[in-house]
Each structure stands twice: as C-alpha cells, then as structure tokens.
Structure 1
Amino acid sequence: MRVFLCTLIQMIMWCGYSIVLFLSHHDHSFYETILLFMFGYFNFLVAQRLHLNKSIALNMTLSLTIIYITGKALIG
C-alpha cells in the first residue's frame, strides 16, 4: 500500500513539474535540468518519508523519472 501511495504522489509531482515547465517556457534548458533534479530529489525524499527502504525508494524514483522523461520525449 505504501508503494502504491508513493507512486501516486510521485506521479502528481511529475504533473506539477510539467505545469511548472509549461508556465516557464522561456527558461534555458540548463535551468529546466536543474529543476528536474530538484523534483527527482524531492520525490526521493517523499518516498523515504513514507518509510520505504532506501533502495526501493531510489529504484522507484529513478524508474518513474525515466518513464516521465521517455513519455515527454515521445509526446513532444
């Protein structure tokens, strides 16, 4: 149940990241990359806050980040 809740929260966070990118479409790609790492780290902290094992939290965060980046690249 904690893994499902963490996945749901991280998906909501990535939706928030998409909204932030949409609102700041004039920013350089460097700042978007820094923001990506900040959101990824925050998602990792949320996973740890839900008392998940560090390795599970890291694997879940990395896999959802890769899924988000792949989906963003495919959609445009």
Structure 2
Amino acid sequence: MRVYVVMLLQFIIWSGYTLIEWLSKHDQLVYKVIMFFVFFYLAYLIGNGITKSSRKTLFLTALSLVIYTSIHYTLELYTH
C-alpha cells in the first residue's frame, strides 16, 4: 500500500512540475533543469519519508518519472 501512495503522490508532484514548466515557458534551459532537480528531490524526500528505504525510493521515483513522462508524451502525440 505504501508503494501505491508514493506513486500517487509523485504523480501529483510531476503534474505540478509540468504546470510550473508550462507557466515558465520563456525561462532559460538552465532554470528549467534546476527546477527539475528541485522537484525530483522533493519527490524523493516524500517517497523516502513514506517507504523508509532509500533504494526503494530511488527506484519508485525513477519509475514514476518514466511512467509519467511516457503518459505525458503519448497524450501530447494524440492531441496534436
């Protein structure tokens, strides 16, 4: 059950990142990269607080990022 909660919370975090990135579309690339690492660290901290395992948290964070990115780009492909 903890894995499910972590994945849901991280999907919410990645959705927030997508919204913030959309709002800052005129920013330079370096600021977007820094913002990505801030959101990645936030997702990692929340996941680590719930699972209490660094290895599992890193895997879940990477997995949620890959799943969210694939869903995001697939939907973008079909809507354009």
The structure having more radius of gyration, on CA atoms, is 2
TM-score normalised by length of structure 2? 0.81
Which residue matches 1:39? 39
Identity of aligned residues (%): 30
Q: Distance in 2 between matches of 1:33 and 1:14?
A: 14
Which residue matches 1:13? 13
Q: 2:55 is matched by which residue type in structure 1?
A: S
Q: Distance in 2 between matches of 1:4 and 1:52?
A: 14
- Cα displacement (A) at 1:71: 4.7
TM-score normalised by length of structure 1? 0.85
Cα 1:34–1:9 shift into 2, 3 Å: same
